Structure formats: C-alpha cells, structure tokens
A and B are shown apart, each in its own frame.
Chain A
Amino acid sequence: MVPVLGRALILLTLFLATAGAMVGFAAGARRTAAGFAWTRRFAYAFAAAMVLTNALMVYALLARDFSVAYVAQVGSHAVPNWVAVVSLWSSLEGSILFWGLVLGLYIAAATWTTRDAPGDQMSYAAAVWLATGACFAFLLAGPAQPFGTMDPPPLDGPGPNPLLQNHLLMIAHPPFLYLGFVGMTIPFGLASAALLTGRLGHDFVRPLRTWLMVPWTFLTVAIVLGGWWAYEVLGWGGYWAWDPVENASFLPWLTATAAVHSGVLMERKGTLKGWTVTLIQATFLLTILGTFMTRSGVFNSVHSFTQSAIGPALLGFLGLGLVWSVTLLALRIDRLSSPVAVGVARSREGLFLVNNLLFVLFTFTVLIGTVFPLIVEATQNVQMSVGRPYFDRMAVPIGVTLLLLLGIGPALPWGRASAADMKRALLPPLGATALAGALGYALGVRNGWTLVTIAFGGYALHVTLHQLWLPAARRMSAGFGEAFAELARLRRRTAAYVVHLGAIVVIVSIAVSSTEGESVEAQLVPGETTTVGAYTLTFQSAEEIEQPHRISVVAHVAVTKDGRDLGLIKPRMNHYRSQRQPIGTPAVRTQAFEDLYLSVMNIDAANQRLGLLAIVKPMVGWIWIGTGIMALGGLLVLWPARRVVPPLATPVVTEGA
C-alpha cells in the first residue's frame, strides 16, 4: 500500500515539476498574467507534493513498514525512533528524496518572496527551479526509487549506517549540507531569469544577493559540521583531509564566496555582472558535480560509476546545466559588459578583484587535485590519489593571502586613494599585527606560515573591529541606544564584518591547530602510563556496556596535568549489532585553548588491553566558535530590515562583505 502510494506521489512531483517548468518558460516568453499565476501554483504544488512524499517515507520509517524497499534497507526495530527519522537521509535513495524536500521548500520560499517581482523574470526563475526539481524527481522515479516494493517484506532490517547513529553531529551535518547545496539552485534560477529577460538591473541584484547568502550560510556551517563530526567520531585526530567527499562540498563554497564578494561590487558599482553570474552558474554546477562525486561511487572506481544508473543521470544533468549556462552567457554577453571600468588597483574595488581571482584559483586547485586521479584512471587505468602535500602547498599561501586581503580591503577607501589616505588607513593596524605575531612567538609557535597567519590575523582583526565600531562610535555621543540603533540600521554592513570576524578566528585556528600540538600512540595494560604534552595518562580498566542497539567497550583513562588530577576520560569503541566493523568514539576534553583528544585504536575488555592514540591540539575549539560567529553574521544579513523610513528613501548601504 505505502510503496504504491509513494511511487504515485513521486510521479506526481515529476509531473508538477515538468509541467511547471514548461508553463514557466512559456509564461516568461509570452508574459501573460495567467501564465505567471499558474507558474506560481505549480511551484507551490511541487513543494506540497514533495512534503507529502517525504512525510509518507517518515511514516513508513517510523512504522517500520519493511514492504518499502528503502525501509527494508535502512530501518530496524532495534533503533530508537529518532534514528528511524534521520534514516531518511542515511542512504542514497532517501537522501535524494530529502534533497527533493529541501528543494521544494526553497522553491516555495523563493516563489513567495519574489511574488512582487516582474512576472516574466519570476516565471523564468521558477521554471529553472522546477526544471531542476524535475531532474531530481526523475532520479526518484527511476534510478533512485525509494518506494520499491519488498515482497515478502523482511521481518527486520539492518538499521542505518552506524556512523550516522554514533554522533549527533552526523544528524545535523547532512540537512545543513543539503540546505547549502540545494539552495544554490535559487540564485542559479534568478541569474538564468535575468539573462533570459536581458534585464540585469538593480531589481535583479538585491534578491540574488539575499538568496545567495541563505545557502552560503548553510554551506559554511555544513562544511565545518562535517569536519567537526570527523574530528569527534573518526578518531584520527583531524578534521580535514582533502578527501574527495570533503572537496565536493568545499568547491561550491569557494565560488559562492567569490560571488558574495563580487556581488557587492555589482550592487554598488553596477560592475562585474557577467562575472558574478558566471560564478553563480559555476557554483550551481559544482553542487551537481559534488553530488555526482559523492553519490555515484566514481571515486571507488571510475569504471564502477555506471553500475548504478544515478551516476550517468547526474553526469547528464551536469552536461545539460553546463550547456544551458554557457548558452545563456553567450546570448547576453553584450549586456553583461560593465558601464564603468573596474581596474583601479589602489582601491577597495581593486582588492575585490584580487579576492575573486584568488578564490577562483583556489577552486581550480582543489578541482584539479580532486579530478586528476579520475582522469588518470580513465585514460591510463592506474589507480591513485593526490596527496595532502599538493593541497597544502597551494591552499596555505592562497589562504594566507586571502587573510591579508581581509585586513587590507576593508581598510581602504572606495575609489582611487591618495598616498596620504593609504597611509592613514593601512599603518595603524600594524601595531596589532606586531602584537599578534609576538604573542604567537611567545606562546611557542615557531612555524613560519603559522606566525605569518597569526600576524595577518592581528591586522585583519584590528581593521574589522574598527570598521564594526566606527558607525556606532559616531553616534556614541547621542547615547548607547543610538549607537546600537545605527549598527542595526547598517545591518548588512555590520553583518558582513561579523562574518569577517568569524572568518579570521577560523583561519587562525586552523593554522595553529594543524601545525602545533603533539601526539603519542601506546599499547597499555591497566596501571601503565603514557604522556603527551603536559598530560599524564594512566589506563585503569576496560569496561563493557550493553545497550539495545550496541555494545560499547569503554576505556577508563585517568588524566593528570602538571600533577593536577583532571579525573577520568572515557574514550570507547562501539560495536553495533548490525555491523561487523566497530566504531571508535574518541573522548575530547575541550578547553579554551587546547584539546586533549583520546582515541581507542583497539581495546579488549576480556584481557584488559588498550591501544590508545592521544593528541594535544591547540585552538581546535575556536574553529567551531569562529564558524558560529560566521553563521551569526549570515543570519544578520537575512534578518528582515526594520523599515523605519519608507523603503525607497532608505539608502542601500552594502559596504564590505
């Protein structure tokens, strides 16, 4: 019953998306009011159908209805209900279904907010969104059908991948990632609509920037959540390995970040329209490429990706999107030229350009490093990967230069700056630079790149705080409330600097945590001790704990630091009943400036043996905090403006970004 209903609902979404896209394109071309209205109706209907389809799957998962193929694949009586719900995105078919839900919600929200936009533009945009929806509904209807029938239904299923059950972060990571990935469809549709109508004026720029910031914020959080999860669960002590799956999420983030910045120039100066649109198209295409890379199994073997039909289908979408993007650009290239030249080097504009080129260079670096092994395997049948040193060698200088720009850029005035202006703007933060560098050295940092990063971080911090404070300081004489009101009025500007503040914290923390600290590995019996940094670790015992869905073997490790007793830390190894492979769960003792990370390599409760990996890593916690600050900035951008004065009279202030 449920499988049949599910398949019918998926066909309904496919119909609504396809018909809606056709109506949307026709309405955009013919400009009929009825057409516009029908496009909107189809958009809302598609969203509603996707919500229903997902609700049905959640119902089936909760009811443990094993006649549904997907439930038989990931469901289990042994798992608690919350695990059953998150199983929705634990495997391929369900995650594509969930993708459809996110897309539906995005389409509904974007259709609602653009309801007052010119009808043809809105219809074209909705048509592109729905066409994307049709692609994914097609996947659901065919190669990734989640509502297949199991006859006879099994009595119980294996439950979802234990990695998903093992940590709360893994429940949060995929939804954020989808909200980031799928959301890039919205700016892509808006950009396509602007190109189709040929109107790339102010009424196109503003919603585009807003709808770029929404998925950008989610994607930023998602990438860091993924790293955090790897750190808390995988047990090797790191959060980033330049793995293809990680790179897949990082690539669109890079181009989206570039677009967020070039969008500032587009809105303020009317320049870089073609460039920004290209970046937005590239971002969308990279999300599809990322989905292909992570979902088709291409990285297991180039030759195996055709085993599931989803790989070729996604590759087809990618090709379609590429042709569509390039064709649109080519059609409108005459309107994309800038009314004014951008090339003023000694100005904020000039640095925006350098920033954009660096982000694009970064994208190329990661893309080449990720795709290179695929090309070699396809052409020469040699299997390999590109090692970390390649990525680090490129990413470190680019990242450090971006941090420098993050300091210098906002300090510089718009337009051509005189030598005196430059001095006044750029010299004062040098004090903070020297201070930060000296502080880093005093605390024991000897790595050259890390010291430079800390010093540049000091510069950028000074500039950012100054810029944040500046408008408030001007109103300070009128009282604290007035000063705060001014910051709120300059909401987008304030938000941009809050994001920058978070970015500085993240970049410096990454530099410090990846170059400082120490680690030790030891095989221990009860009573034996090992030391790492200032910590002394004593293995006391291994204890077995039975739970309904797993057995945990917990190591009791007594920790002292400089003779001070810090109590017991309990890393563990979880054996899930449905899986043969045990999963270690490290114990992380996070403090303001240092993490103590204990990970069980092997443990034996019967013989009381423990193989322990112990790591001391500074500043890791600040990566998560910095990301929180960035997300807060992203939210501030999106917070609806309080309309004190009629909107038309409000000057649009979009300094920085």
Chain B
Amino acid sequence: MSEPTSDARNTPPVAHRKKAFVFASLGAAAIAVAVLAAGGIGENLVYYWGPSEVHAAGDQAVGATIRLGGMVAADSVQYLGTSALEFDVIDGEQIVHVKATGVPPQMFREGIGVVVEGTMTAAGYFEGNRLMVSHDNEYRTPEYGESVDMKERMKTTKGLADDTGR
C-alpha cells in the first residue's frame, strides 16, 4: 500500500511523501471498512447484560447473543434428567428464568455468580447453551453473598476449567 511507484522518484520527495501517506491512510481506511462489512461485525456481537438490562432490551434481546451475568437465585435450581437444568438468575432487581442444557460446572450452586451464554426466547425464558461460574482474574469464585461487580466478572470467564460450553 505504502509502496511508492517507480516513477515517483522523479517527483520532489515532499510531494511524494504526502502522496504516499494519503494512499496509505486511504488504503487502511478502505480495508477497515471492507472488513467490518464483510465480517458482519454488527450481527456477531455478544452483549454483556444483567437481568435488568435483558428486560430493558425487550424484543431486542430475543435472538441476540447475550452473556447473562448474575447470581443463581436461592431454591430455584431444578435438574431435568441427566443433562438439562433450569434456574433463575437475579441481580437484586430483576429475575430471568434460564433453561440450560449440558452438565453444570463443579462450583455451580444456588447463590453463586454465574454467566450464561445464550439468547432470550420469545416465550420469555433465557435459553443457555454455555454455563460458567464467574471468577476474577485470580480465578477465585466469590463467597456466598459476597458482592461483586458482575460486569467485570463476565469478561473473565474465559479460561474457566469448569466451563461447559464449546
């Protein structure tokens, strides 16, 4: 892109320099726009939402990829067969009912911070296909009842040993 053409040596260096920079920056901008368009970045965003934000998003949440972060509500976990479960995720204000498939991670229990990746269904429940126990950078899980910034936790679930998704 910034490679000058061979006839450019005859033009004065400064004019040439300007030309090269203009070309280089235009090229970079063009590539950036092309990548954004071709990759469909807008359709492939993963939102980090708590229950309140899921409710606030309304219909927007249906079909969107969401990382739902919050606490597992007490007395809400139900195991259905060998590899499915339902539970409520709360953030102190709102509740989202989650139906998840798969085997839960080791630390999963009522009152613990979780992140569920999935989407909201039109039927009003959250369909989770990836269930993670949230932790901080030191890979510690919060104590029962310990208050945590779930937003920060949601981003650090990668690398979890007991993460059930693919």
List A residues at the B interface (Cβ < 8 Å): 161-163, 230, 233-238, 241, 243, 245, 272, 274-275, 278, 297, 299-301, 304, 329-330, 333-334, 336-342, 360-361, 364-365, 368-369, 372, 382-391, 393-394, 519, 521-524, 573, 579-585, 600-603, 611-613
Contact = CB atoms under 8 A, between A and B. Distances in A.
Interface in B13-65: 13, 16-17, 20-21, 28, 31-32, 35-36, 38-41, 43-48, 65
* 7 residue pairs, one from A and one from B, having the closest CB atoms: A611-B103, A390-B44, A334-B13, A383-B48, A584-B161, A601-B103, A583-B161
Given A161-B138, A235-B162, A601-B102, 15 more contacts: A236-B164, A236-B165, A300-B156, A301-B152, A339-B6, A340-B6, A341-B6, A361-B35, A386-B44, A393-B44, A581-B107, A581-B133, A582-B106, A582-B161, A611-B106
Interface residues of B, number: 62
Nearest to A586: B161
Contacts of B4: 274, 333, 336-338
A243 B164 contact: no
Contacts of B46: 384-387
B160 A234 contact: yes
Contacts of A161: 138-139
B164 A613 contact: yes
Interface string B88-130: 0000000000000111111110000000000000000000000
A386 B152 contact: no
Interface string B128-166: 000001010111110000000001101110111111111
A575 B105 CA distance: 14
B83 A297 contact: no
A581 B139 contact: yes
Contacts of B135: 581
B76 interface: no
B137 A300 contact: yes
27 contacts: A234-B161, A237-B166, A245-B158, A274-B2, A274-B3, A275-B1, A275-B2, A301-B155, A337-B5, A339-B6, A361-B31, A365-B35, A368-B35, A369-B39, A383-B151, A385-B45, A385-B46, A386-B44, A387-B65, A389-B43, A394-B38, A523-B103, A573-B106, A581-B139, A581-B161, A601-B105, A601-B164
B166 A236 contact: yes
A334 B15 CA distance: 10
A406 B156 CA distance: 37
A337 B19 CA distance: 13
Contacts of A235: 161-163
A329 B20 CA distance: 10
B48 A364 contact: no
B82 A581 contact: no
B166 A337 contact: no
A383 to B, nearest CB: 4
Nearest to A376: B45
Given A338-B3, A580-B140, A602 B40 contact: no
Which of A162, A275, A523, A583 has the largest number of chain B CB atoms within 10 A?
Answer: A523
Given A365-B35, A522-B83, A524-B82, A234 B6 contact: no
A505 B46 CA distance: 32
Nearest to A163: B139
A384 B83 contact: no
B69 to A, nearest CB: 10
Contacts of B138: 161, 579
Contact of B83 (A233, A304, A521): A521
Contact of A234 (B41, B65, B163): B163
A299 B151 CA distance: 11
Nearest to A385: B46
Contact of B17 (A245, A334, A340): A334
Which residue among A233, A245, A368, A390 has the maximum number of chain B CB atoms within 10 Å of its CB? A390
Main secondary structure of the interface of A (DSSP, over half): mixed
B66 to A, nearest CB: 9
Contacts of A368: 32, 35-36, 39, 41
Given A333-B4, A337-B4, A385-B46, A394 B39 contact: yes
A275 B3 contact: yes
Contact of B141 (A337, A365, A581, A613): A581
Which of B16, B47, B164 has most chain A Cβ within 10 Å? B164
Given A234-B159, A584-B106, A338 B47 contact: no
A342 B106 contact: no
A245 B44 CA distance: 19
B104 A602 contact: yes
A325 B142 CA distance: 45
B2 A390 contact: no
A337 B6 contact: yes
B125 to A, nearest CB: 20
A241 B117 CA distance: 14
A420 B9 CA distance: 36
B8 interface: yes
Contacts of B102: 521, 601
B162 A337 contact: no
Contact of B151 (A301, A394, A601): A301
Q: Which of B3, B44, B82, B83 has the most CB of A within 10 A?
A: B3
Contacts of B45: 384-387
Contacts of B165: 236
Contacts of B13: 333-334
A451 B32 CA distance: 30
A365 B3 contact: no
Contacts of B31: 360-361, 364
A333 B20 contact: yes
A393 B82 contact: no
A394 B35 CA distance: 8
Contacts of A245: 158
B155 A383 contact: yes
A602 B103 contact: yes
Instruction: Specify which of A163, A241, A245, A334 lies most central, judged by the most chain B CB atoms within 10 Å of its CB.
Output: A334
Contacts of B43: 389
Contacts of A361: 31, 35
A388 to B, nearest CB: 8
A415 to B, nearest CB: 17
A235 B102 CA distance: 14
